[in-house]
Amino acid sequence: MCLIAFAIGLHPDMPLWLASNRDESFDRPTEPLHRWRSETGAEVVAGRDLRDGGTWLGLSPAGRVAWLTNVRQATPERAERSRGELVSRWLAGQDDLAGFVQTLQPQAYGGFNLVLGDLGAGRWHWVSNRHPADPHAAQTPQRHQRPLGPGLYGLSNASLDTPWPKTLKLCAALQASAVPMDADDPVHPTLQDALTDHHPAPETDLPRTGVPMALERALSSPFVRIPDSDYGTRSTTLLRIRRQAGGLGARLDEWQHRMDEPVPRLDPQRHRCELIERLRAP
């Protein structure tokens, strides 16, 4: 997962409103959004990485939510474990949020940002194993964390709320669309434009993460397409959690993208939707 904008508690009837693009190699085996059971038997609603297990974004009917991005590094370090297990472990687990965070072993994973939500407790947390002041530098992984209150947040392959152009663009679009919408039409036009924008940022606005500038430029658009490469935006996901009679309900919408797509779009033919009518959270 490489670009996420999310709003916590910006609208009284919508505790969470999230939009994201996942960038990955197209040859990495992946299952799209669906319901599945973890090794412990817990139900999870998410996509699934078939190479290393785990997922990048999902929720559980028990009211747990999580998503993950990698931290970009010029020379990625070999890691003992897959970052995707962090999300699936939280979704399927029993520990409270504070207890789960304390069990994380920062040195076991490549650079990551992890956002955890417990809808029942009304608690949110950001965790990373890279220093927020200089996440791309070589460093000994340590746990960095902070609670998240109501607000609008952006996350890509740096620290939380790093003002990369594509992150700012998606945050602005999410805020513009953060009003109750028709349940059958989840995509606000402004949000769709931001999620499918394949234009790179101006040279003067490009981040400096240590990768070659040509790659920096190619990765700077919200929707990534790299010519002569098998890497790019593979899916787009929207997640809404709403208050409704008797509790909370959730809707997950996902669109799969192909490497040979000439123009990015949220194609209805490759759309999946999962509804949870009632989350088991007060």
Task: State pLDDT tens for residues 24-56.
Answer: 999 999 999 999 999 899 999 999 999 998 999
Q: How confident is the model at residue 94 (pLDDT cuts 50, 70, 90)?
A: very high
The mean predicted confidence, pLDDT, of the chain is 93
Which pLDDT value is given to residue 1? 64
Of the candidates 150, 92, 101, 165, the one whose C-alpha atom is nearest the C-alpha of residue 128 is: 101
Q: What is the mean pLDDT of residues 121-139?
A: 96
pLDDT over 90 (residue 127): yes
- Look up the pTM and report it: 0.96
The confidence score (pLDDT) of residue 264 equals 87
| Amino acid letter for position 264 | P
Q: Which of 8-17, 108-117, 127-136, 213-222 is least confident?
A: 8-17
Across the range 5-25, mean pLDDT stands at 95
For residue range 214-229, what is the model confidence (pLDDT) as tens digits? 999 999 999 999 988 9
Is 80 exceeded by the pLDDT of residue 267?
A: yes
| Closest to 54 in 3D by CA, of 112, 130, 129 | 112
Which pLDDT band holds residue 282 (cuts at 50, 70, 90)?
Answer: low
pLDDT, residue 184, reads: 58
List, in order, residues 6 or more apart from 91 with CB less than 8 Å away.
38, 42, 44, 46, 55, 58, 59, 60, 64, 65, 66
The predicted structure's pLDDT at residue 281 = 65
Residue 257 and residue 234 in contact, taking contact as beta carbons nearer than 8 Å: yes
Query: Residue 141: how many CA atoms within 13 Å on its side-chain side?
Result: 20
Above 90 in pLDDT, residue 280? no
Strand order of the sheet with strand 43-49? 30-37, 43-49, 57-59, 64-70, 112-118, 123-128, 144-147
Each residue of 159-207: pLDDT tens digit? 999 999 999 999 999 999 876 555 556 688 999 999 999 999 999 999 9
Q: What is the pLDDT of residue 249?
A: 95
Average pLDDT over residues 234-248: 93
Amino acid 188: pLDDT: 86
Look at residue 182 in the predicted model and tell me its pLDDT: 54
Which has more pLDDT, 78 or 156?
A: 156
Contact 70, 3 (CB under 8 A): no
Say if domain 3-279 classifies as CATH 3.40.1280.10: no
Using the predicted structure, report yes or no on whether residue 255 has a pLDDT greater than 70. yes
Q: Within its chain, how far is the Cα of 233 from the centroid?
A: 12
